[in-house]
């Protein structure tokens, strides 16, 4: 398996522009997570889906952020409009949730976002 795939790997944009990050989870996994990592705050969960349904979006910073999972093999994280403080590395991860049993999460390589 190719693992979790994220694109783009690097994104540089100007303040005010729309940014879309993409993620393809490992085939067969039913949970998908979006994380953000900054020097100041470390790793933080933004949102996670189970069976394509958003379960917890309490980490989404504000209305400028939105995430979708239209099918089991694709998810997007959109920032509109982007701001310099959104600069961070965004990770996508996936796992397989069995009934009453948690499993390890597999992380993608991350997207390094720079907003000028």
Partner 1 sequence: KNEVEQSPQNLTAQEGEFITINCSYSVGISALHWLQQHPGGGIVSLFMLSSGKKKHGRLIATINIQEKHSSLHITASHPRDSAVYICAVQGGSEKLVFGKGTKLTVNP
The site for partner 1 (CB under 8 A) is made up of 31, 33, 42-45, 48, 50, 55-56, 89, 91, 93, 95, 97, 102-107, 109-110, 112
Q: How far is the CB of 45 from partner 1 (least distance, A)?
A: 6
Q: What is the DSSP string of 53-82?
A: EEEE-TT--STTEEEEEEETTEEEEEESS-
Given the complex with partner 1, which of 48 and 82 has the nearer CB atom?
A: 48
Classify 8 as helix, strand or coil.
coil
Q: Rounded to the nearest whole angstrom, what is the least distance from the CB of residue 16 to partner 1 in the complex?
A: 27
Angle CA(102)–CA(104)–CA(105) in degrees, nearest 5?
115
Given the complex with partner 1, which of 50 and 87 has the nearer CB atom?
Answer: 50
Q: For residues 27 and 38, which CB has a smaller minimum distance to partner 1 in the complex?
A: 38
Please report how close the Cβ of residue 80 comes to partner 1 at its closest, in angstroms.
25
């Amino acid at each position: 398996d190719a693992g979790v795939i994220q694109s783009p790997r690097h994104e540089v944009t100007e303040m005010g522009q729309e940014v879309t990050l993409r993620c393809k989870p490992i085939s067969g996994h039913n949970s998908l997570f979006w994380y953000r990592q900054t020097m100041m705050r470390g790793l933080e969960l933004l949102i996670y889906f189970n069976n394509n349904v958003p379960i917890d979006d309490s980490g989404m910073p504000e209305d400028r952020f939105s995430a979708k999972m239209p099918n089991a093999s694709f998810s997007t994280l959109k920032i509109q409009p982007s701001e310099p403080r959104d600069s961070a590395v965004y990770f996508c991860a996936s796992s397989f949730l069995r009934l009453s049993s948690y499993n390890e999460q597999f992380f993608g390589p991350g997207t390094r976002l720079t907003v000028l």
